[in-house]
Amino acid sequence: MSDMFEVTILGASGGPVDGNTQSFMIRPARARDLNAVCIDGGAGLGQIVKCVLNNVGGEESLKRDEMRVESFYENDFESIDLYVDEDLTIEAGFSRGIYDLSSAGRSNTIQKAGALFHGIGEYYITHAHLDHISGAIINSPLAYGTSEDISNDKVFLGLDFTMEALKKHIFNDIIWPNLVRDGTNTINLKSIAERQGYRSNTIPDWQIYPFKVHHGNKINSDTEESVLSTVYLVSDTVSGKCLVVCGDLEYRIAPGGDCVPSEIARFLVDNVPPEKLSGIFVECSNTSSIESDKLYGHLSPIRLIKMAKKLESYYSDRYKDFDSLKLNIIITHVKKIYAEVDPRLQILEELKHHASKVGLTNVRFSMAVEGYTYFL
C-alpha cells in the first residue's frame, strides 16, 4: 500500500484509431476527494463513462483473471496478463475509492462521470497535436453552465509553444468557440516554465516539472524546424516519490553528441534518488519493423531501451550502492496499424528482448490499457 500515484488510463492509443488517444487521469493513490489532474487530453468524458461502466459489477472490483482488453487483432478481447506485468497492481475502471466518491448521491452513469470530470482541475498538455487534446477540447463547454455544484476552474497548462497553439488554432471561433476570451475566464490557459516545479492547484502536494523535447520535424518546411513536445515529472513533495509521463518524443542526437532525452535523465539522477522513481509512462509508437526514417519523431523499442540503459548508467555513476534500475516502464501511444498480431504485444516482446540483451533485467514493462487504473 505504499503506492503514491493512481493513474487511470483514459486513452493510450497513438492513432490512427480515434476516440481513445493519449490521456492519463492521475491523483494521489487512495485520496479521499475527487481531485485529479490529466496529463494530455486526447480522450475525456467519453472514456470516463466507459471506465465507470468498467467499475460496475457489485462491491468487488473485477478479479485479475476476469479482466479483458479490447484488442481487435487475433481476438477482439485478450487477457490483461498479456499487457500488464503481474506484479503491477491494477483495478478495472477507476479505483474503488474514487468510484465510490463519484457515486455518492448520484443515480446515473452520466452524473457519476460528470462528477469525475469536474474533479479534474488541470490538464497538463504535452503538445497541441489533436490526438493529445481532442477529448479535452470537445468536453470544454462542460466547464461552465452545469447544474453540478462542484468547483469548476478548469486550467489547461503547458509550455509556451503548446499554449500559443491552443490560443491561435483551437480557441479561435473557427475550430472551436473562443471560451478563453479575456474577462470571463471560462477556460484558463496557463504557460508554465521549463524545468521549474509548478505547484499544482488541484493537488497542492505535487510539483510538476515540464521538460521540452523534440518530436520530429515539420513536414512542410525547407529547414529542419522542430515539432516540440513535453515530458512531465510529477513530484509528490511529501513522500518525495516521482512519476514521469512523456509526450511523443524522438531519440535525437544533439550537437554535443548526447541524445536530447538524456538531459531529462540527468535531471532525474540529480534530483530523484532511484528508490523514489515510481515509474515512467513513455511512448513507443512503433514496432521494430518500422524503418527509422518512418518514425516521424517517435520512439522504437531499441531506442527506448538505449534511453533506459543510459538512465541506469547515470544512476550507477552517481549512487555507489546502486545495483540496477528497478521500476515500471509503461508504454503508451502505440500506433494501431494493420497487422495479424496486436502491435502492443509485439512491442512488449521486442522491449523485453532488447532489455534482456543489455542486461536491463529489473525493469518491468507493461502496456497502458484503456479503462484500467494503475497503482505506482
197 grid coordinates: 516545479
Question: Which window, 1-9, 201-209, 273-281, 334-342, contacts its own copies (CB under 8 A)?
Answer: 334-342
Choose one: 165-173, 198-206, 270-278, 325-333; the region binding its own copies (CB under 8 A): 165-173
Smallest separation, CB 40 to its own copies (Å)? 13
Q: How far apart are CA 322 and CA 268, in angstroms?
A: 14
- 174 near its own copies, rule: CB under 8 A: yes
Grid cell in block for residue 45: 468524458
Helix axes 109-119, 45-55, angle to 10 degrees: 120
Choosing from 62, 101, 137, 242, the residue that interacts with its own copies (CB under 8 A) is 137
- Strands (DSSP E) found in the chain: 5-11, 23-28, 36-39, 68-70, 77-79, 90-92, 120-124, 155-158, 188-191, 198-199, 206-217, 226-236, 242-246, 277-283, 327-332, 363-367, 372-375
16 scored as a contact of its own copies (CB under 8 A): yes
Return the residue of 3, 18, 205, 263 that touches its own copies, per CB under 8 A: 18
Selected range binding its own copies among 12-20, 230-238, 253-261, 304-312, rule: CB under 8 A: 12-20
Size of the site for its own copies (CB under 8 A): 68
Of 179 and 284, nearer to its own copies (C-beta) is 179
Angle between the 301-318 and 262-271 helix axes, to the nearest 10 degrees?
30
Among 9, 12, 21, 232, binds its own copies (CB under 8 A): 21
Which residue type, as a one-letter code, is found at position 214? H
Binding segment toward its own copies, per CB under 8 A, in 173-181, 248-256, 326-334, 345-353: 173-181
- DSSP per residue over 157-187, as a string? EE-HHHHHHIIIIISSSSSS--TT-TTT-SS
Residue 41: all three cell numbers together? 487530453
Q: Which of 34, 53, 82, 88 binds its own copies (CB under 8 A)?
A: 53
Site for its own copies contains 178 (CB under 8 A): yes
Any idea how long the chain is? 376
Decide: is 220 part of the binding site for its own copies (CB under 8 A).
Answer: yes
Residue 179: partners with Cβ closer than 8 Å, 6 or more residues away = 140, 141, 143, 144, 171, 186, 187
Distance CA 162, CA 165 (A): 5
CA distance from start to end of the chain: 10
Q: Which stretch binds its own copies (CB under 8 A): 31-39, 101-109, 239-247, 355-363?
A: 101-109
> At closest approach, how far in Å is the CB of 8 from its own copies?
16
Nearer to its own copies, 26 or 227 (CB): 227
Residues of this chain that interact with its own copies (CB under 8 A) are 15-21, 43-47, 49, 53, 56, 72-74, 76, 107-111, 113-114, 128-131, 134-135, 137-142, 145-148, 165, 168-170, 172-179, 181, 218-221, 225, 227, 294, 296, 336-340
